Structure formats: structure tokens, C-alpha cells
Amino acid sequence: MFPMPPPASASVRHARDRLARGAVPFLWSEAARRMAERLPLLRLQPELALDVGCAWGDGLALLRAQYPQARLIGVEPAPRLAGLARRGQGVGWLRRLRGGGSTEVVQADLQAPPVPQGAAQLLWSNLALGWAPEPGALFAAWNRALRPDGVLMFTTFGPDTLRELRDPEVAALGAEAAQWPDMHDLGDLLVEQGFASPVMDMELLRLRWPDAEAALRELAQLGRAPHTAARQGLRTPRSWRRLLDWLQARAASSAHGQVELSFELVYGHAFKPATSRAEAGVASIGLEQIGGRARSRPPG
């Protein structure tokens, strides 16, 4: 039996459940697809893999394609999204799954994957980091869920995301873009929380829409984390109209005549080391590792 996880905060559940009103946003699925392209670089063939913040369940389909024999567990805090992932209504992934492995979706907090400590060999998370108020605490929880030598892979947005909205005129409307952490800071945080060999890199994507309403509609579909670090956004229809006019005027003055917004897509990859970090000059080594090394030592 799995330990019973603590419930996700009500605000996170409600905010993520609003995502269930629409289809999978392009940027969400594109980030997952690009991260999945990196899976073949791993020699890992996990018995148990977690998709933390699985949302509509599209990431589970990508994991199944790479690991047909693995047991997959999707973790989603929001009940409506978890239900969509189970039924496959969002992307139809349940009908496409093949292989000998099993797949399940569990409603649980991002910070409390419902597995025993040290059970998973792979923890995958697509655009879920921004929904946690304290990334360090989230990394620590993910570290505990992984086996020694387990792998963490995640995507998140970087500080250049929506940089066009950092114009003083936009800030005056109360619509300034949220601040996202720098990938180097995330790499340092991974090390602080017990991970080894973090690799951080990024791509800058520029998306275009025919008009401002289409652009803001897709931004709304991406959702917004409700914790205190998130900005409150627009408050009145007048402010909304002024932002639409500002974006439309900016598009009209561009060479392509469309609304263009930037997204810094950050990829993170790190290992849980086989030995714990040294504390006061002492490092912990598992007995199974000692036994394995003893057996591999040539006689004599």
C-alpha cells in the first residue's frame, strides 16, 4: 500500500482545475514533446516512473512510448484534471498505450508523490515547478521519491518568458509578467537539495498569434499559479481592453503584423547520487553498494 499523501492546497487544486476547461495548450504539449526527445539519451530503463503534475496525461503517453514495460504513475493535484487524464478525454492517451507496463493516475500534491521513499527510478515533470511556492522544498520531496542513481527531468519557464510584457506601460495596467527563476539558480538549488550533476539548458521560443485576443486566450489556457509569488494580474475590463489595444498596436508596428511573445523554456536534468552528501565529514553508503563492489573485486 502507498502512504496516504497530504492534500494539495485548495488554491492550487482550483487553479489547475480551471485548466480542464480547455484542450491541452500548444506550449504545454510542445514542452513535453521536446523533453521526451531527450529520453533516449538515458541508459535508464525504469521499473517505476512518475509524471508529477501530469495534467491532461499527455506526458504519460510519451513515457509509455519510451518505456513500454514500465509502471507509470501520473500525479495530479486537481481532481478534474486527474479525471481527464484517467479517461484520456484530453489527448486520448489511454487508447494509445501499449506494452506490458501499467499506468495509473493519482490525485496528490506535487510535493508528495504517492510512492514509498526511494521507489522511483525516473521522475518526470512538465511545467509543474511554477505551481510550487518553494522550488527547494519541491526538489527535496522529489529527491526523496527517487532511488539512488534515479533521474529527475523537468521543464519550466525561465526569466525571459513574456519579456515583451515587462514594458512600463504594461506594468501600469497591473499585467506585468511573472518573474521566473534563472536556470543557473535552479541548478544550484538542485545541488542544495541533494541532487548531483545537474544539467540545465534552455530554448527561446517565439510564438505568434493573429491578434491580441488570441494571444491572451492562449496565455489564459496555460493557467497561473495562485501562490503569493504570482502577480494578481488584471482587475477591470478597462485594463483588459487597454492591454489588448497595447498588444494590437505593437503588432501593427511590427514587420509581420502579428502579436509575438517570447517563452524561455528551461530543461533540467539531474541524478540522485548513490551516496548521500557528506555531513560533518561522514558520507553514507548503502550496504547493497558495498556488497556489489565486494562481489566485483577480483580475487587475490
Q: Indicate whether 255 belongs to any domain.
A: no
Q: Indicate whether 122 belongs to any domain.
A: yes
Q: Indicate whether 117 belongs to any domain.
A: yes
User: What is the chain's mean pLDDT, rounded?
Assistant: 83
Burial degree of 10 (CB within 10 A; 0-12, 13-18, 19+): exposed
For residue 50, what are the contacts with CB-CB under 8 A and spacing of at least 6?
72, 73, 74, 75, 113, 115, 120, 122, 123, 124, 145
Which residue from 109, 75, 77 is spatially nearest to 223, judged by alpha carbons?
77
pLDDT category, 48, cuts 50, 70, 90? very high
CATH number of the domain at 67, please. Answer: 3.40.50.150
pLDDT at residue 142, as a whole number: 97
Write the pLDDT tens digit of every residue in 211-254. 999 998 888 888 877 655 445 554 678 878 888 999 999 999 99
Question: SS3 for 154-204, per residue?
Answer: EEEECCCCCHHHHCHHHHHCCCCCCCCCCHHHHHHHHHHCCCEEEEEEEEE
Q: Indicate whether 35 belongs to any domain.
A: yes
Q: Indicate whether 173 belongs to any domain.
A: no
Q: Indicate whether 292 belongs to any domain.
A: no
Percent of the chain with pLDDT over 90: 60
Q: Look up residue 74 and give its DSSP letter.
A: E
Q: Look up residue 276 and give its DSSP letter.
A: P
pLDDT at residue 221, as a whole number: 87
CA R_g for the chain? 21
pLDDT at residue 4, as a whole number: 37
pLDDT at residue 73, as a whole number: 96
Domain coverage including residue 47: 10-157+179-202+263-275
Is pLDDT larger for residue 251 or for residue 11?
251
For residue 264, what are the contacts with CB-CB under 8 A and spacing of at least 6?
157, 158, 159, 160, 161, 180, 202, 203, 204, 205
Write the pLDDT tens digit of every residue in 156-195. 999 999 999 888 777 666 666 677 899 999 999 999 999 9
> With 80 as the cut, is the pLDDT of residue 2 above it?
no
Burial degree of 254 (CB within 10 A; 0-12, 13-18, 19+): exposed
Q: What is the mean pLDDT of residues 107-124?
A: 95
Write the pLDDT tens digit of every residue in 267-293. 999 999 987 654 434 444 443 333 443
Q: Indicate whether 5 belongs to any domain.
A: no
> With 70 as the cut, is the pLDDT of residue 298 above it?
no
pLDDT at residue 59, as a whole number: 94
Number of domains in the chain: 1
Coil/strand/helix, residue 295: helix
Q: Indicate whether 104 belongs to any domain.
A: yes
Residues 80, 17 contacting (CB under 8 angstroms)? yes
pLDDT at residue 173, as a whole number: 65
The pairs formed by 39-44 with CB atoms below 8 angstroms and a separation of 24 or more are 39/63, 39/66, 39/153, 40/66, 42/122, 42/151, 44/121, 44/122, 44/151
Write the pLDDT tens digit of every residue in 52-107. 999 999 999 999 999 999 999 999 999 999 999 998 734 444 444 455 789 999 99
CA separation for the pair 6, 118 (Å, rounded): 18
Distance from the Cα of residue 146 to its chain's centroid: 16
Q: Where are the beta strands (DSSP E) in the chain?
A: 48-52, 71-76, 103-107, 120-126, 146-157, 196-209, 259-271
Give me the amino acid identity at 14: H
> Cell numbers of 17, please?
482545475
Q: How far apart are the first and last CA of the chain?
A: 46
